[in-house]
Amino acid sequence: MSESGNGFPRRERRPISDAVAARRRAQMVSGLRGLKSAPPPRLRPGNGAEPNGNGKSSADSSTERCDLCSTTIPEDHRHMIHIDERRIVCTCESCWALRSGDAEYRPVGSRIVWLPEMDMPDDIWAGFQIPIGLSFFMYSTTSECVVAMYPSPAGATESELHFDTWNRLLELNPELRLEPDIEGLIANRLADPPIYAIAPIDRCYELTGAIKANWSGISGGEGVEEAVARFFDDLQAKAL
Protein backbone atom coordinates (compact mmCIF):
# COMPACT_ATOMS: atom_id res chain seq x y z
CA MET A 1 0.00 0.00 0.00
CA SER A 2 1.56 3.34 -1.07
CA GLU A 3 1.17 6.79 0.53
CA SER A 4 -1.01 9.54 -0.93
CA GLY A 5 -0.05 13.20 -1.13
CA ASN A 6 -1.89 14.04 2.10
CA GLY A 7 0.04 11.48 4.10
CA PHE A 8 -2.72 8.88 4.33
CA PRO A 9 -2.21 5.34 3.01
CA ARG A 10 -3.53 4.89 -0.52
CA ARG A 11 -5.13 1.60 -1.48
CA GLU A 12 -3.66 -0.04 -4.55
CA ARG A 13 -6.19 -0.43 -7.35
CA ARG A 14 -7.04 -3.92 -8.54
CA PRO A 15 -7.03 -4.67 -12.25
CA ILE A 16 -10.48 -4.03 -13.71
CA SER A 17 -10.79 -7.70 -14.75
CA ASP A 18 -10.36 -8.79 -11.12
CA ALA A 19 -12.95 -6.29 -9.96
CA VAL A 20 -15.48 -7.49 -12.55
CA ALA A 21 -14.88 -11.14 -11.61
CA ALA A 22 -15.33 -10.35 -7.93
CA ARG A 23 -18.55 -8.47 -8.64
CA ARG A 24 -19.97 -11.39 -10.64
CA ARG A 25 -19.13 -13.81 -7.83
CA ALA A 26 -20.85 -11.52 -5.35
CA GLN A 27 -23.94 -11.31 -7.58
CA MET A 28 -24.20 -15.09 -7.74
CA VAL A 29 -23.90 -15.55 -3.98
CA SER A 30 -26.27 -12.63 -3.31
CA GLY A 31 -28.85 -14.01 -5.71
CA LEU A 32 -28.69 -17.50 -4.27
CA ARG A 33 -28.88 -16.15 -0.72
CA GLY A 34 -32.00 -14.25 -1.70
CA LEU A 35 -33.55 -17.42 -3.06
CA LYS A 36 -32.67 -19.25 0.14
CA SER A 37 -34.45 -16.67 2.30
CA ALA A 38 -37.44 -16.33 -0.05
CA PRO A 39 -40.69 -18.32 0.30
CA PRO A 40 -40.45 -21.94 -0.94
CA PRO A 41 -40.06 -21.85 -4.76
CA ARG A 42 -42.10 -23.78 -7.25
CA LEU A 43 -40.26 -27.05 -7.67
CA ARG A 44 -40.87 -29.90 -10.06
CA PRO A 45 -40.67 -33.50 -8.79
CA GLY A 46 -37.04 -34.59 -8.88
CA ASN A 47 -35.64 -31.08 -9.39
CA GLY A 48 -32.14 -30.60 -8.03
CA ALA A 49 -31.67 -34.31 -7.42
CA GLU A 50 -28.25 -35.83 -7.11
CA PRO A 51 -26.64 -36.98 -10.39
CA ASN A 52 -28.46 -40.33 -10.22
CA GLY A 53 -31.69 -38.34 -10.43
CA ASN A 54 -33.68 -40.43 -7.97
CA GLY A 55 -33.17 -38.46 -4.76
CA LYS A 56 -31.62 -41.40 -2.89
CA SER A 57 -30.15 -40.79 0.53
CA SER A 58 -26.43 -41.01 1.18
CA ALA A 59 -27.00 -44.33 2.91
CA ASP A 60 -27.82 -46.14 -0.32
CA SER A 61 -26.04 -43.90 -2.86
CA SER A 62 -23.08 -46.30 -3.09
CA THR A 63 -25.28 -48.71 -5.08
CA GLU A 64 -27.11 -47.11 -7.97
CA ARG A 65 -30.25 -48.76 -9.27
CA CYS A 66 -32.53 -48.41 -12.24
CA ASP A 67 -35.48 -46.18 -11.34
CA LEU A 68 -37.81 -48.36 -13.41
CA CYS A 69 -36.91 -51.93 -12.42
CA SER A 70 -34.52 -51.45 -9.44
CA THR A 71 -31.76 -53.56 -10.93
CA THR A 72 -28.20 -52.50 -10.12
CA ILE A 73 -26.66 -50.17 -12.72
CA PRO A 74 -23.09 -48.88 -13.24
CA GLU A 75 -22.12 -45.32 -12.40
CA ASP A 76 -21.96 -44.51 -16.11
CA HIS A 77 -25.56 -45.36 -16.99
CA ARG A 78 -28.24 -44.01 -19.29
CA HIS A 79 -30.81 -41.36 -18.43
CA MET A 80 -34.34 -40.70 -19.63
CA ILE A 81 -36.72 -37.86 -18.83
CA HIS A 82 -40.28 -38.26 -17.63
CA ILE A 83 -42.03 -35.81 -19.95
CA ASP A 84 -44.95 -34.78 -17.74
CA GLU A 85 -42.98 -34.46 -14.51
CA ARG A 86 -39.77 -33.19 -16.13
CA ARG A 87 -37.89 -35.66 -13.94
CA ILE A 88 -34.58 -37.33 -14.78
CA VAL A 89 -34.78 -41.13 -14.58
CA CYS A 90 -31.78 -43.44 -14.27
CA THR A 91 -32.19 -46.60 -16.35
CA CYS A 92 -30.54 -49.90 -17.08
CA GLU A 93 -29.87 -50.84 -20.70
CA SER A 94 -32.97 -53.08 -20.89
CA CYS A 95 -35.40 -50.46 -19.58
CA TRP A 96 -33.82 -47.80 -21.76
CA ALA A 97 -34.44 -49.96 -24.85
CA LEU A 98 -37.92 -51.07 -23.81
CA ARG A 99 -39.25 -47.70 -22.59
CA SER A 100 -37.67 -45.30 -25.08
CA GLY A 101 -40.78 -45.47 -27.24
CA ASP A 102 -43.22 -44.81 -24.38
CA ALA A 103 -45.26 -41.63 -24.52
CA GLU A 104 -44.20 -40.58 -21.01
CA TYR A 105 -40.44 -41.16 -21.39
CA ARG A 106 -37.77 -39.98 -23.78
CA PRO A 107 -34.01 -40.59 -23.81
CA VAL A 108 -32.13 -37.42 -22.93
CA GLY A 109 -30.21 -35.59 -25.64
CA SER A 110 -26.63 -36.41 -26.50
CA ARG A 111 -25.04 -33.29 -28.00
CA ILE A 112 -23.10 -30.54 -26.24
CA VAL A 113 -22.63 -27.43 -28.40
CA TRP A 114 -20.57 -24.48 -27.20
CA LEU A 115 -22.00 -21.15 -28.43
CA PRO A 116 -19.25 -18.51 -28.13
CA GLU A 117 -20.91 -16.22 -30.69
CA MET A 118 -24.38 -16.24 -29.20
CA ASP A 119 -26.06 -12.84 -28.98
CA MET A 120 -27.99 -12.30 -25.73
CA PRO A 121 -28.63 -8.54 -25.19
CA ASP A 122 -29.25 -7.33 -21.66
CA ASP A 123 -32.81 -6.28 -22.43
CA ILE A 124 -33.73 -9.78 -23.61
CA TRP A 125 -32.20 -11.35 -20.51
CA ALA A 126 -34.08 -8.83 -18.35
CA GLY A 127 -37.29 -9.87 -20.11
CA PHE A 128 -36.84 -13.42 -18.77
CA GLN A 129 -37.07 -12.02 -15.21
CA ILE A 130 -34.56 -14.50 -13.81
CA PRO A 131 -33.14 -13.30 -10.46
CA ILE A 132 -29.60 -14.64 -10.99
CA GLY A 133 -27.32 -14.85 -14.01
CA LEU A 134 -27.38 -18.64 -14.16
CA SER A 135 -30.16 -20.64 -15.80
CA PHE A 136 -31.15 -23.17 -18.42
CA PHE A 137 -34.02 -23.11 -20.90
CA MET A 138 -35.99 -25.96 -22.43
CA TYR A 139 -39.10 -26.34 -24.57
CA SER A 140 -41.71 -28.41 -22.74
CA THR A 141 -44.22 -30.27 -24.88
CA THR A 142 -46.39 -30.72 -21.79
CA SER A 143 -46.60 -26.98 -21.03
CA GLU A 144 -46.29 -26.07 -24.73
CA CYS A 145 -43.93 -23.25 -23.87
CA VAL A 146 -40.31 -22.48 -23.10
CA VAL A 147 -39.45 -23.05 -19.44
CA ALA A 148 -36.54 -21.47 -17.59
CA MET A 149 -34.98 -23.34 -14.69
CA TYR A 150 -32.54 -21.58 -12.39
CA PRO A 151 -30.65 -23.08 -9.44
CA SER A 152 -31.40 -22.34 -5.83
CA PRO A 153 -30.32 -23.90 -2.53
CA ALA A 154 -33.62 -25.84 -2.62
CA GLY A 155 -33.18 -27.20 -6.15
CA ALA A 156 -34.33 -26.06 -9.59
CA THR A 157 -36.86 -23.21 -9.59
CA GLU A 158 -39.17 -23.02 -12.60
CA SER A 159 -40.40 -20.03 -14.60
CA GLU A 160 -42.50 -20.26 -17.78
CA LEU A 161 -41.46 -17.67 -20.36
CA HIS A 162 -43.36 -15.45 -22.74
CA PHE A 163 -42.85 -16.53 -26.33
CA ASP A 164 -42.27 -12.93 -27.47
CA THR A 165 -39.00 -12.64 -25.55
CA TRP A 166 -37.84 -16.11 -26.60
CA ASN A 167 -38.69 -15.44 -30.25
CA ARG A 168 -36.63 -12.25 -30.15
CA LEU A 169 -33.68 -14.34 -28.99
CA LEU A 170 -34.24 -16.82 -31.85
CA GLU A 171 -34.31 -13.97 -34.38
CA LEU A 172 -30.85 -12.91 -33.21
CA ASN A 173 -29.59 -16.51 -33.09
CA PRO A 174 -31.22 -18.53 -35.89
CA GLU A 175 -28.88 -21.46 -35.17
CA LEU A 176 -30.44 -21.89 -31.73
CA ARG A 177 -32.75 -24.87 -32.11
CA LEU A 178 -33.50 -27.10 -29.14
CA GLU A 179 -34.90 -30.61 -29.24
CA PRO A 180 -38.10 -30.41 -27.16
CA ASP A 181 -37.91 -31.88 -23.65
CA ILE A 182 -34.53 -33.61 -24.03
CA GLU A 183 -31.98 -30.78 -24.22
CA GLY A 184 -31.61 -27.22 -22.99
CA LEU A 185 -29.74 -23.97 -23.42
CA ILE A 186 -27.49 -23.27 -20.43
CA ALA A 187 -26.67 -19.60 -19.79
CA ASN A 188 -23.98 -18.45 -17.38
CA ARG A 189 -23.96 -14.66 -17.38
CA LEU A 190 -21.88 -14.60 -14.22
CA ALA A 191 -18.84 -15.58 -16.30
CA ASP A 192 -16.81 -13.02 -18.23
CA PRO A 193 -17.47 -13.34 -21.09
CA PRO A 194 -20.87 -15.01 -20.59
CA ILE A 195 -21.08 -18.73 -21.41
CA TYR A 196 -23.84 -20.31 -23.50
CA ALA A 197 -24.14 -23.96 -24.49
CA ILE A 198 -26.70 -26.48 -25.66
CA ALA A 199 -26.56 -29.58 -23.48
CA PRO A 200 -28.52 -32.77 -22.72
CA ILE A 201 -31.27 -32.07 -20.23
CA ASP A 202 -29.71 -34.32 -17.59
CA ARG A 203 -26.55 -32.18 -17.69
CA CYS A 204 -28.74 -29.09 -17.21
CA TYR A 205 -30.29 -30.56 -14.08
CA GLU A 206 -26.83 -31.65 -12.96
CA LEU A 207 -25.87 -27.98 -12.60
CA THR A 208 -28.76 -27.28 -10.23
CA GLY A 209 -27.97 -30.46 -8.31
CA ALA A 210 -24.30 -29.45 -7.95
CA ILE A 211 -25.27 -26.12 -6.39
CA LYS A 212 -27.72 -27.77 -4.00
CA ALA A 213 -25.18 -30.45 -3.01
CA ASN A 214 -22.35 -27.96 -2.41
CA TRP A 215 -24.33 -25.25 -0.62
CA SER A 216 -23.28 -24.67 2.99
CA GLY A 217 -24.20 -22.07 5.57
CA ILE A 218 -26.00 -18.83 4.74
CA SER A 219 -23.83 -17.61 1.87
CA GLY A 220 -23.26 -20.98 0.20
CA GLY A 221 -19.52 -21.13 0.86
CA GLU A 222 -16.66 -21.44 -1.63
CA GLY A 223 -17.87 -24.90 -2.63
CA VAL A 224 -20.69 -23.46 -4.75
CA GLU A 225 -18.38 -21.28 -6.84
CA GLU A 226 -15.93 -24.14 -7.29
CA ALA A 227 -18.71 -26.56 -8.28
CA VAL A 228 -20.02 -24.17 -10.94
CA ALA A 229 -16.52 -23.66 -12.35
CA ARG A 230 -15.88 -27.45 -12.50
CA PHE A 231 -19.21 -28.02 -14.21
CA PHE A 232 -18.52 -25.59 -17.05
CA ASP A 233 -14.91 -26.74 -17.47
CA ASP A 234 -16.14 -30.32 -17.89
CA LEU A 235 -18.96 -29.24 -20.21
CA GLN A 236 -16.60 -27.32 -22.49
CA ALA A 237 -14.17 -30.24 -22.61
CA LYS A 238 -16.95 -32.46 -23.98
CA ALA A 239 -18.46 -29.89 -26.38
CA LEU A 240 -18.56 -30.38 -30.13
61 contact partners, CB below 8 Å, separation of at least 6 = 50, 52
The confidence score (pLDDT) of residue 92 equals 97
pLDDT band at 163 (very low <50, low <70, confident <90, very high): confident
How much of the chain, in percent, has pLDDT values that exceed 70?
73
In the predicted structure, residue 102 carries a pLDDT above the cut 90: yes
pLDDT mean over 174-181: 94
- 75/162: higher pLDDT: 75
The confidence score (pLDDT) of residue 85 equals 92
In the predicted structure, residue 189 carries a pLDDT above the cut 80: yes
Contact between 210 and 153 (Cβ < 8 Å) = no
Contact between 101 and 107 (Cβ < 8 Å) = no
CA distances to 20, 48, 71, 132, 201 from 121, rounded to whole Å, are 18, 28, 47, 15, 24
- 107/60: higher pLDDT: 107
Contact between 143 and 160 (Cβ < 8 Å) = yes
Q: Report the range of poorest mean pLDDT among 39-48, 125-134, 214-223.
A: 39-48
Tens-place pLDDT, residues 4-40:
454 434 444 445 444 444 445 444 444 444 444 444 3
pTM score of the predicted model = 0.74
How much of the chain, in percent, has pLDDT values that exceed 90?
55
The confidence score (pLDDT) of residue 1 equals 52
Contact between 82 and 102 (Cβ < 8 Å) = no
Tens-place pLDDT, residues 31-72:
444 444 444 334 344 444 444 444 444 445 568 999 999 999
pLDDT band at 221 (very low <50, low <70, confident <90, very high): confident
Which amino acid is it at 164? D
In the predicted structure, residue 197 carries a pLDDT above the cut 80: yes
